[in-house]
């Protein structure tokens, strides 16, 4: 069984092992694969694994031995699912591997905004505290989370983990979700979207990107929010209209934005959020803790093993 990993570097830059896959077949790992080399590198493969390398219909049609495409992520929009269906090729993803790490990043962003630890550390390295006449100083608002109203949009695995942590901070938690109140439990209040926008001090975007959720945060929804509102996005970049949000930040209509995702990645130089006031952007790393990547690798190996044993799991297409 020939297995080709087209873009293995982000999953494993060298700190975890490919041994599990090597035990299942003849493995070849490429750090990155340009589109023009996808067919050449995959031509004899029965299994290909990809993270962000796009697998198009024209690739699939020219890979006669291909039987399985494994996506090294949860989202699988990098694969032409219809073309895979036509060929009877299984497409499998990696669900729920990053939940603790992504939930942690939500609060890393939130605490960055409310406490500005990095800012004060930097100031102190430059001697500001040493030369201060008082025993302390602050030049940014310091905000206590206890008692705040925290809104979660999307209550899947990550959204539920975020809600639990918010509750532990002493916040009142509400959610916009398709789940019923009985399903989400008494600790989270189910609300309509506009009510969440109007009443919440903090809004966390944890929903999938769909035609209905694209640019959910826009000029109109931003007008409903409190000026003190903080938005955190660890979902998908296109959940927000980036220009509308940047304008709202620069004009002081909302307090701050913390995001691990942008609409175009790597970031475009002209993305308005990169220089917007009180915008804190990290480079899509919420998933990338070593622990989460090891879980991803483990699930990937189990997926391939299940396929080889004719019991495919985590199948996302209608093969």
pLDDT tens digits along 287-309 = 999 999 999 999 999 999 999 99
Q: How confident is the model at residue 115 (pLDDT cuts 50, 70, 90)?
A: very high
| pLDDT above 70 as % of the chain | 100
pLDDT at 286: 98
Evaluate if residue 251 carries a pLDDT over 80.
yes
Query: What average pLDDT does the structure give for the chain?
Result: 97
CA 97 to each of CA 83, 94, 168, 217, 294: distance values in angstroms, whole numbers, following the listed order:
27, 7, 23, 27, 9
Given a contact cutoff of 8 angstroms between Cβ atoms, the answer to whether 214 and 188 are in contact is no
Q: What is the mean pLDDT of residues 229-246?
A: 98
- How far apart CA 63 and CA 65 sit, in angstroms, is 6
Catalytic residues: 236, 265, 284
DSSP 222: H
- How far apart CA 71 and CA 90 sit, in angstroms, is 11
pLDDT in tens, 158-173: 999 999 999 999 999 9
pLDDT at 319: 77
pLDDT in tens, 174-192: 999 999 999 999 999 999 9
- How far apart CA 253 and CA 255 sit, in angstroms, is 7
Given a contact cutoff of 8 angstroms between Cβ atoms, the answer to whether 107 and 131 are in contact is no
Domains of the chain: 2-97+290-308 (3.40.50.720), 99-281 (3.40.50.720)
Evaluate if residue 84 carries a pLDDT over 80.
yes
Q: What is the mean pLDDT of residues 24-39?
A: 98
| pLDDT above 90 as % of the chain | 99
DSSP 6: S
Q: What is the mean pLDDT of residues 262-281?
A: 97
């Amino acid at each position: 069984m020939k297995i080709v990993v087209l873009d293995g570097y982000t999953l494993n830059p060298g700190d975890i092992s490919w041994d599990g896959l090597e035990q299942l077949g003849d493995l070849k790992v490429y750090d990155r694969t340009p589109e023009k080399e996808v067919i050449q590198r995959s031509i004899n493969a029965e299994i290909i694994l990809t993270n962000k390398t796009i697998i198009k219909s024209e690739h699939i049609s020219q890979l006669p031995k291909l039987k399985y495409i494994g996506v090294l992520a949860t989202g699988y929009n990098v694969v032409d699912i219809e073309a895979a269906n036509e060929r009877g090729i299984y497409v499998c993803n990696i669900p729920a591997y990053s939940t603790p790490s992504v939930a942690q990043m939500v609060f890393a962003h939130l605490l960055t905004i409310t406490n500005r630890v990095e800012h004060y550390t930097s100031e102190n390295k430059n001697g500001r505290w040493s030369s201060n006449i008082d025993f302390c100083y602050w030049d940014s608002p310091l905000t206590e989370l206890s008692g705040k109203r925290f809104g979660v949009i999307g209550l899947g695995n990550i959204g539920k983990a975020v809600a639990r942590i918010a509750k532990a901070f002493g916040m009142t938690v509400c959610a916009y979700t398709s789940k019923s109140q009985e399903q989400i439990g008494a600790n989270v209040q189910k609300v309509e979207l506009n009510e969440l926008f109007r009443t919440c001090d903090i809004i966390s975007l944890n929903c999938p990107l769909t035609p209905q959720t694209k640019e959910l945060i826009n000029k109109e929804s931003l007008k409903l929010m409190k000026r003190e509102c903080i938005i955190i996005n660890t979902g998908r970049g296109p959940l927000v209209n980036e220009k509308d949000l940047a304008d709202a930040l620069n004009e002081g209509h909302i307090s701050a934005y913390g995001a691990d995702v942008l609409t175009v990645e790597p970031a475009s130089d002209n993305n308005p959020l990169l220089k917007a006031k009180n915008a804190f952007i990290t480079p899509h790393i919420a998933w990338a803790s070593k622990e989460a990547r090891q879980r991803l690798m483990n699930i990937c190996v189990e997926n391939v093993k299940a396929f080889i044993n004719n019991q495919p799991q985590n199948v996302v297409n209608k093969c």
